[in-house]
Amino acid sequence: MKMTLIELLKYKKEKKALAEEVEFPVANPLGIKFNSLISIPSIHVPNYTGDAIEVDCKLKLIEEYTREIDDEVFTFTDYVLSYREGSEFNLKLRIYGEAALLLTPYESMPFSKEMDEVLEDTERTGKLDVTENDTLLEYFRVNGAHHRWYATIKSVTPADVDSNGKVTKESTSHLCNNSLEYWDFERDNGGVTEYIIVEMKSVDGWITMRKGTLIDPQLISVI
């Protein structure tokens, strides 16, 4: 059955028992299984050069982010998707409430003192400067934050589930919490808000930057 994300979210609220179909030790608000196809309009997928109107993506990973603010716990879910157009690209579909943020790879690098100092400086200035096509762009911290966020991540991959889509006890024993620090930035681009999310892994300092925009959940369908 093909449903848009917004239909799926509403259906999940009405039919809470649906969550029992897939036993995940991470938040899976859409109840998506690893054999599902997630279709995204190709116009919203950077680097896509094919002729398809919609890009069918496979689910590679589900990540649950948890952060604590003033003793209150907040959780959101990232669905890591892949599609092939010459080579494999990874997208992230971030779900929080009924909002969907589509993120694509931007930069990735090992820890460097220079980049660490840049990120520290954003906590003072509240903004991040990036250069694209010889043009300087200014991104500002979401909600005017002047600090980094700390989060723990739990994840599930297709290797962790059995043929029925259930997470096995053997797999759950290998699931672990990874911690990271992240910074979120935004800018207005002609009425469209663009985001850059910067993450730094605690274990090795590896830095990953992703860029994206909010996408109407009704434009995304799940099969």
CA nearest neighbour of 59 among 85, 27, 90: 90
* Average pLDDT, rounded, for the chain: 86
Q: Per-residue pLDDT averaged across 104-109, rounded?
A: 93
Which residues constitute the domain of residue 142?
A: 3-222
Q: Does residue 197 surpass a pLDDT of 50?
A: yes
pLDDT score at 20? 44
- C-alpha distances in Å from residue 120, one per residue of 17, 19, 87, 116, 135: 45, 41, 35, 6, 23
How many domains does the chain divide into? 1
Q: Does residue 22 surpass a pLDDT of 50?
A: no
Q: Does residue 25 surpass a pLDDT of 80?
A: no
Q: pTM for the full model?
A: 0.87
pLDDT score at 23? 55
- Residue 205: CA count within 13 A, CB half-sphere: 9
d(CA 5, CA 38): 9
Least confident interval from 22-36, 84-98, 167-181, 186-200 = 167-181
pLDDT > 90 in the chain, percent:
57
pLDDT score at 30? 84
Q: Per-residue pLDDT averaged across 174-179, rounded?
A: 70
d(CA 72, CA 26): 18
Q: Per-residue pLDDT averaged across 161-175, rounded?
A: 63
CA angle centred on 93, ends 88 and 94, rounded to 5°: 145
